[in-house]
Amino acid sequence: MSDFISSTNKIEDFMCLVTGSEKLSGRMGWLTVSCRDLAEKIFPGACVMVFPSDSNDPLLGRPFAVADVDIEKGELSVCYMVLGRGTEMMMQLIAGKEVRLRGPFGVPLLPVDGKVNIAAGGVGIATFLYFAKKYPEKTAHIYLGVPGKGYEKFVDRILELVPEVHIFTDDGSFGEGNSMFKVLPKNMDENERVWSSGPPGFINALRKHYADEKDKLYFALDKRMACGYGGCMGCVVKTNNGPKRLCVDQLLFRADEVADDEN
């Protein structure tokens, strides 16, 4: 089965109730909202846009992968990095406040033949958390790398959702070592692959690690998604098969499908 499928979702705006807003490690935040109508539409790999203000400032929403869905409670969560004014405003959201979300955007992550290994750096893990939670039988191993000291609360939140994650820290202060590259699987069989996401340096290191198995390595790349409908062309990835938009065309890209400078 293919690792991606075209999306045919109906995109809508939803007024959601903030049920949790927490500052995690470093500049990371975790936002949970209640909106059953939206939660029931979320699929693994889905993105939503958060509009943190009641006004049109900022005009554009901030796109994030949906990290978790609790259908029973009708809730969904996003994990984010504070990088500018929009995400700073998100950090100020408090429980009981309403916030507008738009979605779902993106291309579903579907069960594949065989199993996947997930390798992620920092908040890149958010793209794959719901897949791992929903399809544990299709998930072989999950590897997460973080800087180390100061990221304990972030790691604890991830382990609450998927307890089997292998944690690695750059400073070696906790987890299973200072580099997942010592244990990432090599010489994978025909039905095994690696799905990955993270900062450019991490992606480049994965490219080198799997230089002889590029057909087994897939990336969920980080591009600026401005509209989510495929019209703005802000999230385009240049591939051997022409330009692909993250929001409507393709989520995962095989390592031998994209140029080395396409992160």
Confidence of residue 48 (pLDDT cuts 50, 70, 90): very high
The pLDDT value given to residue 57: 67
Structure tokens at 45: 């790999």
Counting Cα atoms < 13 Å in the Cβ hemisphere of 101 gives 31
Identify the burial level of 67 via C-beta atoms within 10 angstroms of its C-beta, where 0-12 means exposed, 13-18 middle and 19 or more buried.
buried
Residue for token pair 């400073």: 171
Confidence of residue 86 (pLDDT cuts 50, 70, 90): confident
CB contact at 8 A, 30 and 75: no
Question: What is the rounded distance in angstroms from the CA atom of residue 207 to the CA atom of residue 211?
Answer: 6
Question: What is the rounded distance in angstroms from the CA atom of residue 79 to the CA atom of residue 218?
Answer: 21
- Among residues 12, 19, 24, which one has the least CA distance to residue 97? 19
Is 208 in a helix, a strand, or coil?
A: helix
Length of the chain measured in residues: 263
Which whole-number Å values give the CA distances from 159 to 60, 103, 170, in the listed order? 32, 26, 18
pLDDT tens string 184-213: 999 999 899 999 999 999 999 999 999 999
Residue 236 has pLDDT above 90, yes or no: no
Sketch out the chain's domains with CATH numbers: 12-105 (2.40.30.10), 115-257 (3.40.50.80)
Counting Cα atoms < 13 Å in the Cβ hemisphere of 168 gives 18
Question: What is the rounded distance in angstroms from the CA atom of residue 62 to the CA atom of residue 224?
Answer: 9
Mean pLDDT of the chain: 90
CA max distance for the chain = 53
pLDDT tens string 52-61: 888 676 666 7
Question: What is the rounded distance in angstroms from the CA atom of residue 178 to the CA atom of residue 47?
Answer: 30
The residue type of 41 is K
pTM of the complete model: 0.91
CB contact at 8 A, 115 and 139: yes
CA 165-168-172 angle, to 5 degrees, is 145
Identify the burial level of 187 via C-beta atoms within 10 angstroms of its C-beta, where 0-12 means exposed, 13-18 middle and 19 or more buried.
exposed
DSSP class of 258: B
Task: Give the residue ranges of DSSP H helices in 162-220.
Answer: 200-209
The residue type of 100 is R
